[in-house]
Amino acid sequence: SSRIFSLVKVYSVTLDINVFVLEFIPNKNSFGFVSAIGIIPVADKIFVDSISKDGGNGANSSLNISKRGIQTMYRLKIGGSSIKSTQDSGFRRKWEEDSSYMIIADAGSEAKNHSNITCASPNETFVAPLLAYETTKIMSNTYVMEKRLNMS
């Protein structure tokens, strides 16, 4: 039996220009094949311009991401089961269950929302489908002095 494998890479790039050029430069004696590239315009300011990193030793630093590309590495459904690409209307993204990414299996317990979910902005369904907002995980008490817990 044959297996079908596809590789999908997703990047978010903030552009303030009218022309976008994407160039592939192969290594010597290499071969590659690109079957499709999709460019989807989204609303401005879907991501913040700067992110903060809170270090374990009390050091804080920030990173300006407004002029950088962001690669989506994983789409995780926190709590509950995965979301199939057919359940993510318009974008057809697959959202994996988070349990296989947990370092400690019981680091958090699942919590489920029982009310109707509405988005204040149309951008919020671009970030994730409504199904992604139905569940979450509550961190277990680890009796650790730091205000963080590495669940994944």
pLDDT of residue 146: 62
- What single string gives the DSSP state of each residue in 5-55? -----EEEE---SS-------PPTT--------------TTSS-SEEEEE-
**Which tens digits make up the pLDDT trace of 79-98?**
989 999 899 877 788 999 98
Mean pLDDT lowest among 1-10, 35-44, 49-58, 124-133: 49-58
Q: Which 8-state DSSP code applies to residue 97?
A: E
CA 79 to chain centre: 15
58: confidence class by pLDDT, cuts 50, 70, 90: low
Higher pLDDT, 53 or 100: 100
